[in-house]
Amino acid sequence: MTGVRPWRTASGTFAQDTATVAQWLAAHRATVESSTVWSPCSPGDLLSALPRQLPTDVCDLNAMLGELEQFVMPGLVRWDAPGWFAWFPSNGHPHSLLGDLLGAALGQQGMLWMSSPACTEVEIRTLEWLRQAIGLPERFAEGGRGGGVIQDTASSAVLSCLVAARDRSTDGRAREEGMHAVGRLTVYASDQSHSSVLKAVHLAGIGRAQFRAVPVDEHQAMEAAAFRDMVEADIANGCTPVFCCATVGTTASGAFDPVIDIAKACTDYGLWLHVDAAWAGTAALCETFRAPIMAGADHADSWCFNPHKWMGVNFDCSCLWLADRRPLINAMSITPEYLRNDPTESGEVVDYRDWHVQLGRRFRALKLWLLLRCTGVQALGAMVEHHVELATWLAMQVQDSDAFELAAPRSLGLVCLRHVNGDDATQLALDTINADGRFAATHCRLHDQLAIRIAIGTLDVEHAHVEALWSLLSASSPS
Amino acid sequence: MTGVRPWRTASGTFAQDTATVAQWLAAHRATVESSTVWSPCSPGDLLSALPRQLPTDVCDLNAMLGELEQFVMPGLVRWDAPGWFAWFPSNGHPHSLLGDLLGAALGQQGMLWMSSPACTEVEIRTLEWLRQAIGLPERFAEGGRGGGVIQDTASSAVLSCLVAARDRSTDGRAREEGMHAVGRLTVYASDQSHSSVLKAVHLAGIGRAQFRAVPVDEHQAMEAAAFRDMVEADIANGCTPVFCCATVGTTASGAFDPVIDIAKACTDYGLWLHVDAAWAGTAALCETFRAPIMAGADHADSWCFNPHKWMGVNFDCSCLWLADRRPLINAMSITPEYLRNDPTESGEVVDYRDWHVQLGRRFRALKLWLLLRCTGVQALGAMVEHHVELATWLAMQVQDSDAFELAAPRSLGLVCLRHVNGDDATQLALDTINADGRFAATHCRLHDQLAIRIAIGTLDVEHAHVEALWSLLSASSPS
């Protein structure tokens, strides 16, 4: 019965095996600057290499690590490289990884307070610490009508809030009778908002035709006046506006929607205001950058950012705060007999299963706690400042250049640039970056022109890396 | 700048810190039989003990572990105890934990094939290995029209499939125009089905009023004839039946719905058939138990089980297979400019972000792979057999007892029992189990009577633990 009762038979080796894996990981990590950032694999390469049938023999850990070297390593993308400027960073700080290991190995399943008081109450308090650290208004504090919860991703968070808003606006009829009984509900976000908003509109049964992509100004920020006009036009046409997602730091160019003005229209017409600060929220750890990130947060119904992007909590960890938790709980709560228990019935406890789509949940708060406690807010803030300095330097080079120009104002650590000769030249420059091996960058379109996104934010990036990127660009594209 | 560029400043300590954590975890694990299974905490105990403000100083790892001892340990529930019989097991095998650590530390974000060929192709193949290992029909194989994907939970899986079914049945009109334009869609599952089905009905905008809880027979299995009658009545009333969830191993008593008969009605009336084998699916690793679990699977549109329950993959890991992936991808796919890339446009690759609600995803396949490869299917099957033997023994004691009786037929490792004197006596027996300290059990209601659920399935449970439970019950409740 090898492999059964493993803690008894293998408890002597767990600590040792984990140490072996950690050494292997440290060695892998040491190759980061000598590896190509993008995987050299073509589609199907790994599938061709891997056996089609699961081998029937079992192997030991060292053999397993050998299989990983052979079959997995070639397919890795080095999101941890200091030359990683693609999409947004997805950092995993060592302190977070230790917390993740602890959370996994303690084996808690936090669906109910009763199923793990530790998973529940540590999450409540860790989210309160984080709220204080980023300066999110008291309106979202622990102990008030709202509170915080860890979701897996901002996509799940916006879906949860949209469903809560949908049900709140229809007095629960959308939930009980169904969407066919409540007419057309409309949802708003800028045409630069994240795709997850439209996806949520679709999942919640509202229909893509009822999603209003509000136009943006020349800096890619939502036109608040256009938003108000669209809401009024929809009401005149018999629709019920229910939800607006304001973005603080758009995915393409890092633009900040004017949340204060958006909030006024939401208040006037009873819309739920959700703020998506998935990437930019981390910068609020730093007082220097906080004010614009938090502008208008005082009027939001929900506010979300992803510590698994820039902050260093390894994926997944998306933090959502509610001003009032009741609409969310009303939307999510179903209690079958087998989940009934005295603490829940008492109403004294938080049961986090009622705060999201999933029933089960892992102990994610530990990785956040270890990062906050062992790295600390000050060091994380200094990291953000460092990244913004690098981005500022790069933006200055672009502005001084004859070949390139900024495609949008620099936003925190994000610089969008394009070649002055148009899309073909910009594409060539992007291809040069991605063919080099040391760097990764991705693109967006702004004002219908191609732009290269340089998102500076990995844990190890230094001036030399950004300088090398700029040298490559300058050399490849003389004006 | 302490704490910034941590791999450079702390890479020397990562391996060592991880080893320290692993030793601490092994020591914690060694306390499992001397700790109470339920947490002794009352609501708010941990919140009162934890500082209200995040301490401004940073601490080292040893101090952090001290804080965990002080503030977290008292709030743990020992899901890993051999006396854990509550809900279902949530096992984290050491091999899985090593895979989870690897997956976290390699820092992959698998939203697109391009963002991590490794995360994508290893998941494709691992799900194919697992499909072979449980004997799921060829219909779901890699390389066909369908394939497998790891979701976080069965709740997310059923929501994803329901939305795909909703859109398929309405030719995409539910997605594009919204649910208000497509009339009443109806959804079916037995009145013993998991609460996640009703939650999905609600989230997808179908409305709880359109959820049909199909009655069950004396063994808690769906009445297939009643299901067919309800579908026909709904059609006669102008509804469109779209989705049925058949449960193989209900949460309350482990009942198996008659999937073959249910499938016939689904085929006749064009419903999507989803099979929820979240708990029982693990037993299909063992050929002895496979046939009833897979009965009818050949006719399902989607089939789901949770390796994070009984199988030993630490939470979260829910595996979903589709017979045809297109309706799911049609339902989930939105491609903004910043996610466009050549491999996706070529159509040659899988982009797993289009297979679920979330955009980002962690590298979960590694923990499944390490368990399959280092522990092996044979040992996992032997574990299942061992648990079923223990449950069989317990069920025999109950049957031979004057004080207790089976509340439902034993199903695999699950025994539901009640006191012959009725609910008060059953509750007293349940309270005795949970007050003892060594054990945890939860309840359900069957035929409107209270029953104690004894779910046998932790990694370390042995005959002695089940015998001790039975001694306690017998002694406390003389007939």
CB contact under 8 A, B376 and A1: no
Whether residue A338 is predicted with pLDDT greater than 90 in this model: the reply is: no
Helix (H, G, I), strand (E, B) or coil at B273: strand
d(CA A424, CA A5): 61
Sort out which chain B residues have CB atoms less than 8 A from A133's CB and list them. Answer: 54
Chain B residue at shortest CA distance from A208? B176
The shortest C-alpha distance from A242 to chain B (Å) reads 14
Pick the residue of A16, A315, A461 with the most B CBs within 10 A to test the interface with B by mutation. Answer: A315
Core vs surface per residue B300-317: b (16+ CB within 10 A) or e:
bbbbbbbbbbbbbbbbbb
Query: Which one-letter DSSP state was computed for residue B450?
Result: E
Chain A residue at shortest CA distance from B134? A54
Sort out which chain B residues have CB atoms less than 8 A from A53's CB and list them. Answer: 129, 132
CB contact under 8 A, B7 and A87: no
CATH code of A378-476, in short, is 3.90.1150.10
CB contact under 8 A, A203 and B153: no
Q: What torsion do the CA atoms of A228, A233, A239, A240 make, to the nearest 10 degrees?
A: 20
Q: Kindly report the backbone phi and psi dihedral angles of residue A12, in degrees, each rounded to the nearest multiple of 5, phi listed first.
A: -65, -25
What is the pLDDT, as a whole number, of residue B479? 54
Residue B160 burial (C-beta neighbours within 10 Å; 0-12, 13-18, 19+): buried
Whether residue A479 is predicted with pLDDT greater than 60 in this model: the reply is: no
d(CA B200, CA B193): 12
Q: Are strands A272-276 and A302-305 parallel, antiparallel or unpaired?
A: parallel
What is the domain partition of chain A in residue ranges? 14-77, 100-375, 378-476
Residue A336 burial (C-beta neighbours within 10 Å; 0-12, 13-18, 19+): middle
pLDDT in tens, B153-189: 999 999 999 999 999 999 999 999 998 889 899 999 9
pLDDT in tens, B271-318: 999 999 999 999 999 999 999 999 999 999 999 999 999 999 999 999
pLDDT in tens, A243-267: 999 999 999 999 999 999 999 999 9
Q: How confident is the model at residue B3 (pLDDT cuts 50, 70, 90)?
A: very low
Residue A358 burial (C-beta neighbours within 10 Å; 0-12, 13-18, 19+): buried
CA A249 to chain CA centroid, Å, is 12
Q: How confident is the model at residue B347 (pLDDT cuts 50, 70, 90)?
A: confident
CATH code of B100-375, in short, is 3.40.640.10
Here the ipTM equals 0.96
Percentage of chain B surpassing pLDDT 90? 91
Sort out which chain A residues have CB atoms less than 8 A from B129's CB and list them. Answer: 53-54
CB contact under 8 A, B377 and A93: no
pLDDT in tens, A396-406: 999 999 999 99
pLDDT in tens, A374-398: 999 999 999 999 999 999 999 999 9
Contacts of B243 (CB under 8 A, 6+ apart): B161, B162, B165, B166, B185, B187, B188, B271, B272, B274
CB contact under 8 A, B94 and A6: yes
Average pLDDT for B206-231: 97
CB contact under 8 A, A359 and B206: no
The shortest C-alpha distance from B300 to chain A (Å) reads 22
Average pLDDT for A27-45: 94
The shortest C-alpha distance from A472 to chain B (Å) reads 22
Pick the residue of A52, A71, A98, A134 with the most B CBs within 10 A to test the interface with B by mutation. Answer: A98
Q: How confident is the model at residue A7 (pLDDT cuts 50, 70, 90)?
A: very low
Length of chain A: 479
d(CA B384, CA B286): 7
What is the pLDDT, as a whole number, of residue B11? 55
Whether residue A240 is predicted with pLDDT greater than 90 in this model: the reply is: yes
d(CA B129, CA B126): 5
- Lookup: tokens for B123: 């998941």
What is the pLDDT, as a whole number, of residue A337? 80
CB contact under 8 A, B80 and A308: no
Pick the residue of A84, A202, A237, A276 with the most B CBs within 10 A to test the interface with B by mutation. Answer: A202
String of DSSP letters for A349-380: S--GGGGSS-S----THHHHHHIIIII-HHHH
- Lookup: tokens for A141: 């504090």
Whether residue A462 is predicted with pLDDT greater than 50 in this model: the reply is: yes
Q: How confident is the model at residue A5 (pLDDT cuts 50, 70, 90)?
A: low
pLDDT in tens, A195-227: 999 999 999 999 999 999 999 999 999 999 999
Asked if residue B274 lies in contact with residue B244, where contact means CB atoms within 8 angstroms, the answer is yes
CB contact under 8 A, A122 and B71: yes
Q: How many CB atoms lie under 10 A from the CB of residue A396? A: 13
- Lookup: tokens for B6: 């941590």
CB contact under 8 A, A360 and B208: no
Q: Is residue B451 within a helix (H) or strand (E), and if so which, with residue range?
A: strand B449-455
CATH class of A14-77: mainly alpha
The shortest C-alpha distance from A201 to chain B (Å) reads 9
What is the pLDDT, as a whole number, of residue B6? 53
d(CA A426, CA A418): 5
Average pLDDT for A447-471: 97
Asked if residue B100 lies in contact with residue A25, where contact means CB atoms within 8 angstroms, the answer is no
The side-by-side arrangement of strands in the sheet containing A272-276 is A147-151, A318-322, A302-305, A272-276, A240-247, A185-190, A211-214
The shortest C-alpha distance from B282 to chain A (Å) reads 14
Q: Kindly report the backbone phi and psi dihedral angles of residue A294, in degrees, each rounded to the nearest multiple of 5, phi listed first.
A: -95, -5
Asked if residue A229 lies in contact with residue A186, where contact means CB atoms within 8 angstroms, the answer is no
Q: Could you say which of 3.30.70.100, 3.90.1150.10, 3.90.79.10, 3.10.620.30 is the CATH number of the domain covering B377-476?
A: 3.90.1150.10
Whether residue B48 is predicted with pLDDT greater than 80 in this model: the reply is: yes
Q: How confident is the model at residue A10 (pLDDT cuts 50, 70, 90)?
A: low
- Lookup: tokens for B138: 């060829």
What is the pLDDT, as a whole number, of residue A476? 84
* Least confident range of A69-73, B5-9, B358-362, B387-391: B5-9
Q: How confident is the model at residue A2 (pLDDT cuts 50, 70, 90)?
A: very low
pLDDT in tens, A132-188: 999 999 999 999 999 999 999 999 999 999 999 999 999 999 999 998 889 899 999
Chain B residue at shortest CA distance from A98? B18
What is the pLDDT, as a whole number, of residue A413? 98
Using alpha carbons, select from B220, B388, B319, B335 the residue that is nearest to residue A337.
B220
Query: Which one-letter DSSP state was computed for residue A325?
Result: S
Tokens 């539901």 correspond to B416
Pick the residue of A42, A91, A179 with the most B CBs within 10 A to test the interface with B by mutation. Answer: A179
String of DSSP letters for B177-211: T-GGGS--EEEEEETTS-HHHHHHHHHTTS-GGGE
Separation of first and last alpha carbons in chain B: 71
Query: Which one-letter DSSP state was computed for residue A149?
Result: E
Average pLDDT, chain B: 94
Helices (H) and strands (E) in chain A, counts: 17, 11
In 3-state terms, chain A is what percent helix, strand and coil (to 5)?
Answer: 50, 15, 40
A12 vs B454, which has greater pLDDT? B454
Separation of first and last alpha carbons in chain A: 71
CB contact under 8 A, A383 and B3: yes
What is the pLDDT, as a whole number, of residue B283? 98
B2 vs B287, which has greater pLDDT? B287
CB contact under 8 A, A77 and B181: no
The shortest C-alpha distance from B363 to chain A (Å) reads 9
Average pLDDT, chain A: 94
CB contact under 8 A, A207 and B177: yes
Q: How confident is the model at residue B239 (pLDDT cuts 50, 70, 90)?
A: very high
Pick the residue of B29, B122, B180, B378 with the most A CBs within 10 A to test the interface with A by mutation. Answer: B180
User: Does the bond joining B316 to the residue before it have cis omega, within 30 degrees of 0?
Assistant: yes
* Least confident range of A22-36, A306-320, A437-451, B265-279: A22-36
Q: Do domains B100-375 and B377-476 have the same CATH topology?
A: no
Chain B residue at shortest CA distance from A118? B75
CB contact under 8 A, B43 and A346: yes
Alpha-carbon distances of A21 from A35, A58, A81, A94, A184, rounded to whole Å: 20, 18, 20, 14, 54
List the single residue in B91, B133, B174 with the smallest CB-CB distance to A54.
B133
Sort out which chain B residues have CB atoms less than 8 A from A124's CB and list them. Answer: 47
Alpha-carbon distances of B157 from A172, A211, A477, B185, B368, rounded to whole Å: 24, 25, 48, 19, 18
3-state secondary structure A230-266: HHHHHHHCCCEEEEEEEEECCCCCCCECCHHHHHHHH
CB contact under 8 A, B178 and A205: yes
d(CA A443, CA A258): 25
Using alpha carbons, select from A352, A79, A82, A209 the residue that is nearest to residue B5.
A82
Q: What torsion do the CA atoms of B69, B73, B79, B84 make, to the nearest 10 degrees?
A: 110
